[in-house]
Structure 1
Amino acid sequence: MPTYVAFLRAVNVGGTGKLPMADLRAMCESVGLTNVRTYIASGNVVFQSRLSEASVKAKLERCLEDYAGKPVGVLVRTGAELAAVLEGNPFKAQAANRTVAIFLDGPPPADTLVAMSGRQEEEVALGAREIYVHYGDGMAHSKLKIPAAKTGTARNMNTVATLVAWAAQ
């Protein structure tokens, strides 16, 4: 049975989107996902399902909207796809906690790099369905705006590495 990883947008970040991980696990199980595990409180879920990626995404988004009363974006990858994201990180020599993958539903638009604004010391590269960013001075001081990332969600490489390991178990 395929193993998937789901990333929820704007959950338990900056005091918004409160969602206890026990509730998230219960929601996942209620739509038929099995072997559900959550990692840290920012909306990372590893599970197994015979459903397609699109079906998993749709079921989770409906369930989360019912819970939150508003849409909650969900980005889904197979365990193998997530391993490829980690392997494809072009900034492996940089600090993993300052390098993120911004997960998207589809390939980054062709104009992603030229449409950015506020870029300072950040390094940016495009992946298959993600945008990699290395924040040399840390995210807290960055003014970088990436319009293509508006509906995506970012995870640092430490989190990605842990989720890849969990998905491989």
Structure 2
Amino acid sequence: MDSTQLKIIETAAVIIGFVLLLIVTAKLVDKTVNNSLVKKARGKIIKKAINLINLSVCFIIILIIWGVDQSELAVFVGSVVTVLGIAMFAQWSILSNITSSIIIFFNHPVKLDDTITILDKDYETEGRVSDIGVFFVILKTKEGEQITIPSNIFIQKMIKKKVDD
């Protein structure tokens, strides 16, 4: 077996592994969406972000298989990350909100339809969580008002959750 055939087999194995990883992560996100009463559209966004990361890793592995020098690859990846970092620096709050929404999605105890009180030293806010989006958490108060809280602020606040007995 010559080296080209070996590279083709290794590339096929990486692509098969990538497809299997896509299936596993999709099922994991779907299971999390179903268990946490989060909107399905939110799960789609999380899937896209995870798929983008997986695709990038798969692409880098394939480049290494086909003989791209690792030092050249590291310089290329470092340059791309630097340019993206500089380009997105002005948008740090958007990135912060997206990261916070991912944390809320997977790890926060507050779910849809929970009644919560956001404890703030100046102003307490009480309401029912009506939506958890990528950028905002939306509360509906007893008076029927809608309050939108940026995800990065929501994750920083102390929250009292009403527990049904």
Classify the TM-score, shorter chain.
under 0.3
**Structure that is richer in helix per residue:** 2
RCO higher in 1 or 2 (8 Å CA, sep ≥ 6)? Answer: 1
**Structure that is richer in strand per residue:** 1
With normalisation by structure 1, the TM-score equals: 0.23
Please tell me whether Structure 1 or Structure 2 has the larger radius of gyration of its CA atoms. 2
With normalisation by structure 2, the TM-score equals: 0.24
